[in-house]
A and B are shown apart, each in its own frame.
Chain A
Amino acid sequence: MKANSIKDKFTNLKANKPLRQDLITYAIVIFAYLLIRILDMAGMVNSQLNGLLVPICVYAILAVSLNLTVGILGELSLGHAGFMCVGAFTSAFFSKCMVEAIPLAIVRFPVAILIGAVCAGLFGVLIGIPVLRLKGDYLAIVTLAFGEIIKNIINTINIGRDSNGLHFSMKSAMDLGMEKDGVFLIKGAMGITGTPGDSNFTIGVILLLITLFVVLNMVRSRDGRAIMAIRDNVIAAESVGINITKYKLLTFAISAALAGMAGALYAHNLGSLTATPKTFGYNMSIMILVYVVLGGIGNIRGSMIAAIILYVLPEMLRGLQTYRMLIYAVVLIVMMIYNWAPKSIAWRETHSAKDLLAKVKGVVASKSKKGGN
């Protein structure tokens, strides 16, 4: 009876371990947020760092959400910036249209974020459909092409509004044929200007927490297990009745919706939004993938931390001019080795913080025993 209850406690403890890990992840975010806030009040956050705070949240959300596709579902996607782009433009378009109708940012911005997320999520389903038939390299190429297509289409869209209503053209801004009082909402390659600057660090952190909450809770559930089962062995997953189609589409939709949310955050942090290769091209998609790979594929907290370090580092090193990229490259290599080299993995397994603690406890215990004798 007694042995049984102890064993029950033991299994309970193990079952709760992932939960504790998740709480640590949330705690890290909240602690970092409070730290920055305190430093800010003490006047220790310079304007350069201040400008990085919202983008940090954007890239952390992107990395965490991409890890859902790459690490948990195990499908290589190179179009994540495309989903972000959809979220950015749809949300910014909404805000620009509604800036007079809904003057309160606290009402308008959540709706804008939701619209960005839903639109990006719909595109996620759309892209998820070919994913059902493609694997590996082929899928990577399709998603990469998707990102580029999205970016290029957005560059050709012109939308304006005048007393007659909305005007739309894929040719040029002149083709809109607006009255004198007309205003451009989206102006081709010039994108959207004058989006209300609703984003701030606090909202960024809240969105990051929401992302972590959604992804972590999903991973540690029946659905997460089904998705990881598909990753580990599709044939076996089918043989136990897992609906592969449903779960692949679901994963792509959620991953894309979260990227869309990051896009909304990004768009409302800038005065003007343009779909340039630098912001939404495949370079950006690959950058996010680098965060995921270096943070550890399937490791949600790792993605977040890698995104923060690897985004902030090159910005901080700007003063060092020529050595900047060199240092950045070295950091990339070191992180790669730390995360993926078999020897490093083995070392970490034998030297984990928990074992160290156990060792210390053991030493203390043996000493006190000796003292007792």
Chain B
Amino acid sequence: MALLEVNNLGISFGGLRAVDDFSISIEKGQLYGLIGPNGAGKTTVFNLLTGVYKPNVGIIKLDGQDITGKKTIDVNRAGIARTFQNIRLFGKLSVIDNVKVGLHNQMGYSVFASILRLPSFRKVEAQLQERALEILKVFDLDKEAEVLASNLPYGKQRKLEICRALATNPKLLLLDEPAAGMNPMETLELMETIRFVRDHFDMTILLIEHDMKLVSGICEELTVLNFGRILCQGKTSDVLNNPEVIKAYLGE
């Protein structure tokens, strides 16, 4: 059984059919790419999967569980975490606190424990600190743990978003243009990191990306969106050689 199973998903904004008849099936452990020209509806698909938008039609199943129309926080608890195309960090919190917010539902204590500083508070806070540093280390951000998130350089902010998403212990990780704004060196490094995350955390990853080098370098399968509809779906090498895809990308 596939980890993510989406059937005939669709949503309209006013007269605009932003996503139409979208179906996808992603196996556990896969690195899957979602590509397409600007405005094709890729981010909208992410928003549908994570409950930011409710679909007009269609079914979303994660690990066999129907999560269609669920609220964002419930989708996260069911096991989907994401990053954002326009970075959305908790800017006035430190880097490590951003990750600790991600760990919120993983380890906890009551409000009373925090106000009265009960032993459970100390114990769990120590665990949180350790776990958060562990995640930051994967992305080489542990030295900047106490820096304000908004003071990080752009590339590191993108990485921190991935850390925060991973902290929620998801089954499926959605990355919205993780390499946007990175230089070729950083992009190469990011490719390595994404592969590492997949192997190290045993993660399934669906990513949106415009950088073809990254997509062809790490994605095993692709779905191409154009004007909200699926243009082509399949093995990366097949999809990238498809004349229709080349046409959509290069124009008429």
Chain A residues close to B by CB (< 8 Å): 11, 14-15, 213-214, 217-218, 221-226, 228-229, 231-233, 235-244, 250, 298
Q: Contact between A217 and B165 (Cβ–Cβ < 8 Å)?
A: no
Q: Count of B residues near A, CB < 8 Å? A: 42
- Chain A residues, Cβ within 8 Å of B100: 222, 225
Whether A240 contacts B111 in the complex (CB less than 8 A), given A14-B146, A228-B90, comes out as no
| 3 smallest beta-carbon distances between A and B, as pairs | A221-B114, A241-B76, A236-B88
Q: Contact between A11 and B73 (Cβ–Cβ < 8 Å)?
A: no
Q: Contact between B73 and A232 (Cβ–Cβ < 8 Å)?
A: no
Within B229-249, the residues touching A (CB, 8 Å) are none
* B72 proximal to A (CB < 8 A): yes
Nearest Cβ distance between residue B157 and chain A, in whole angstroms?
12
Q: Once the chains are docked, how many angstroms separate the CA of A239 from the CA of B105? A: 12
Q: Contact between B115 and A218 (Cβ–Cβ < 8 Å)?
A: yes
CB-based nearest A residue for B116: A217
A-B contact pairs, 6 of them (CB 8 A): A223-B114, A225-B97, A225-B104, A226-B101, A239-B81, A298-B92
Nearest Cβ distance between residue B62 and chain A, in whole angstroms?
14
Q: Contact between B105 and A241 (Cβ–Cβ < 8 Å)?
A: yes
Q: Once the chains are docked, how many angstroms separate the CA of A240 from the CA of B167? A: 9
Q: Contact between A242 and B73 (Cβ–Cβ < 8 Å)?
A: yes
Chain A proximity mask over B12-43: 1 for CB below 8 Å, otherwise 0: 00000000000000000000000000000000
- Chain B residues, Cβ within 8 Å of A222: 100, 104, 108-109, 114, 124-125, 128
* B68 proximal to A (CB < 8 A): no
Chain B residues close to A by CB (< 8 Å): 50, 52, 71-73, 76-77, 81-82, 84, 88-93, 97-98, 100-102, 104-105, 108-109, 111, 114-117, 121, 124-125, 128-129, 133, 145-146, 164-165, 167-168
Nearest Cβ distance between residue B226 and chain A, in whole angstroms?
27
Q: Once the chains are docked, how many angstroms separate the CA of A14 from the CA of B129? A: 12
Nearest Cβ distance between residue A257 and chain B, in whole angstroms?
12
Max chain B CB contacts within 10 Å: which of A11, A14, A225, A236? A236
Q: Contact between A239 and B50 (Cβ–Cβ < 8 Å)?
A: yes
Q: Contact between B101 and A237 (Cβ–Cβ < 8 Å)?
A: yes
Q: Once the chains are docked, how many angstroms separate the CA of A242 from the CA of B105? A: 8
Nearest Cβ distance between residue B149 and chain A, in whole angstroms?
8
Q: Which of A233, A241, A244 contacts B89 (CB 8 A)?
A: A233
Q: Contact between B72 and A229 (Cβ–Cβ < 8 Å)?
A: no
CB-based nearest A residue for B88: A236
Nearest Cβ distance between residue B174 and chain A, in whole angstroms?
10
Q: Contact between A218 and B111 (Cβ–Cβ < 8 Å)?
A: yes
Q: Contact between A226 and B104 (Cβ–Cβ < 8 Å)?
A: yes
Q: Which of B50, B102, B111, B124 contacts A223 (CB 8 A)?
A: B111
- Chain A residues, Cβ within 8 Å of B82: 239
CB-based nearest B residue for A12: B129
- Chain A residues, Cβ within 8 Å of B98: 229
Q: Which of A14, A217, A241 contacts B104 (CB 8 A)?
A: A241
Q: Once the chains are docked, how many angstroms separate the CA of A295 from the CA of B116? A: 26
Q: Contact between B104 and A232 (Cβ–Cβ < 8 Å)?
A: no
Q: Once the chains are docked, how many angstroms separate the CA of A242 from the CA of B71? A: 11
